[in-house]
Amino acid sequence: MSLQGITILGSTGSIGVNTLDVISRHPDNFKVVALSANSQVERLFSQCQQFRPTYAVMADEAAAAQLADRIKQADLPIEVLAGIDGLVQVSQLDNVDQVMAAIVGAAGLLPTLAAAKAGKRVLLANKEALVMSGRLFMEAVKQNQAELLPIDSEHNAIFQCMPTSFDNGLDSVGVRRILLTGSGGPFRTTAMDKLANVSPQQACAHPNWDMGRKISVDSATMMNKGLELIEACWLFNTSPDHVEIMLHPQSVIHSMVEYVDGSVLAQLGQPDMRTPIAHAMAWPKRIDSGVERLNLIDVARLEFEKPDLQRFPCLRLAEQAARAGGTTPAILNAANEIAVAEFLDNKIRFTDIAPLVEDVMTQVPTKVANDLDTILQADQTAREHARRWIDRQQQQGKA
């Protein structure tokens, strides 16, 4: 394969670090053109020393100034950019072939969309971007001949089990449905009356995966699987009726595709994100990812269960949003981002997350989501409603 220039949006995060690990194994195939982070100056600086990108971007302006100082002192030939404009710029550069979209949350939408509009290979980890802007995003990919490759382990697995082309719908290629698997997170078997008092630390202690804090909480509520349902509908041009969510506590099967002849194809592997990252970066080739081999004799048992919607109400809300369409998924996502941040900050309980999201979904009306302004407006309105919900709770708590 020819040398691929790559921009990493969110290089200091869990996905970013795993991407750099894969790149470091293949210096002849990949060249880092740009690295970026929100505000972690030291971490981005040490990545700059190791990978020598042309650009380093910090979303936070003050952090960008600090990074520029460090780069200057070290006499590195790296241009430091700041803010959303910097992120958009490095997603569109001519010498960039691939953009790893690994910013967490709505903050990743504009640069990820910019990469699609510039016709890049978009390595999509930032599921929130697609959840918010599904139709617009898929149109941008199509109109600009971008390539969209899923990094989310489930969607990467589904992609690997799909026929080469499914543009004309899953029916036309004999796919009956998608089986979307999830581990059930750290609270799959926790007594229901204990959930109100779980700590952020407990919620972030995922049994199988080591991830950023936001997605870890989403895995504990299973909002993550709900966002993944919406993500799957866009990526694979299908509806929630053709996606079945099932619990698979071992996280060895990463998802499956069922065909009309009765065949069910699965992708298996260690729960290590370097597998989907290496797959998407090299596709259609295969490269070493550094991932340990899967030993099924050691695994011994694979189990499956139906998810309990009483335990995981966020799953029900996301399914509702998937069916409602328009701006509803963006509203769901924004409310959830606020709820998760407040839970991580010990301001609300774990069991407040779903009622908060549900209340915001009831309050903010759904609109047609054909342009970015409408989507960003829905995101803002939902965040305002979510903050008001929390204020009301705190007032009641004080009363």
Q: State the binding string over 249-288 for ligand NAD (x if CB under 6 A, else -).
A: ------------------------x---------------
Q: Rounded CA gap, 37 and 45, in Å?
A: 10
For Mg ion, the closer of residues 231 and 258 by Cβ is 231
Q: For residue 127, state whether it binds ligand NAD (rule: CB under 6 A).
A: yes
For ligand NAD, the closer of residues 102 and 257 by Cβ is 102
Contact 20, 51 (CB under 8 A): yes
**What does 150 bind: ligand NAD, Mg ion, none (CB cut-off 5 to 8 Å by kind)?**
none
Q: For residue 272, state whether it binds Mg ion (rule: CB under 5 A).
A: no
Which amino acid, one-letter code, is at 199? S
| Helix spans in the chain (H) | 14-24, 41-51, 61-73, 83-92, 109-117, 127-143, 153-161, 200-203, 213-221, 223-235, 274-282, 296-299, 313-324, 328-344, 353-363, 372-398
In the block, tokens 């918010």 appear at: 132
Task: Select the span of 47-55, 97-105, 242-250, 384-392 touching ligand NAD (CB under 6 A).
Answer: 97-105
Report the greatest alpha carbon distance in the chain: 66
Task: Select the span of 124-132, 189-197, 241-249, 322-330 touching ligand NAD (CB under 6 A).
Answer: 124-132
User: How big is the chain, counted in residues?
Assistant: 399
Query: In the complex, what is the shortest distance from the CB of residue 103 to ligand NAD, in angstroms, rounded to a whole number?
Result: 4
Contact 266, 260 (CB under 8 A): no
Could you tell me which residues come within 8 angstroms of residue 327 by beta carbon, excluding any fewer than 6 positions away? 364, 366, 367, 368, 369, 374, 375, 378
Query: In the complex, what is the shortest distance from the CB of residue 157 to Mg ion, in angstroms, rounded to a whole number?
Result: 9
Query: In the complex, what is the shortest distance from the CB of residue 279 to ligand NAD, in angstroms, rounded to a whole number?
Result: 13
Query: In the complex, what is the shortest distance from the CB of residue 25 to ligand NAD, in angstroms, rounded to a whole number?
Result: 18
Q: State the binding string over 151-170 for Mg ion (x if CB under 5 A, else -).
A: -xxx----------------
Contact 111, 84 (CB under 8 A): yes
Q: Kindly write down the DSSP assignment for every residue of 280-308, as one continuous string.
A: HHHTTS-----PPPP-HHHH-----B---
Exactly one of 91, 126, 270, 336 binds ligand NAD (CB under 6 A); that residue is 126
Q: For residue 186, state whether it binds ligand NAD (rule: CB under 6 A).
A: no
Could you tell me which residues come within 8 angstroms of residue 145 by beta carbon, excluding any fewer than 6 positions away? 119
Q: Rounded CA gap, 199 and 129, in Å?
A: 28
Residues 14-33 that bind ligand NAD (CB under 6 A): 14-16
Q: For residue 215, state whether it binds ligand NAD (rule: CB under 6 A).
A: yes
Exactly one of 88, 103, 256, 280 binds ligand NAD (CB under 6 A); that residue is 103
Q: Which residue is nearest to ligand NAD (CB)?
A: 13
Q: Are strands 30-37 and 4-9 parallel, antiparallel or unpaired?
A: parallel
Q: For residue 59, state whether it binds ligand NAD (rule: CB under 6 A).
A: yes
Residues that bind Mg ion in the complex, under the rule CB under 5 A: 152-154
Residues that bind ligand NAD in the complex, under the rule CB under 6 A: 10-16, 37-38, 40, 59, 102-104, 107, 125-128, 152, 209, 211-212, 214-215, 273
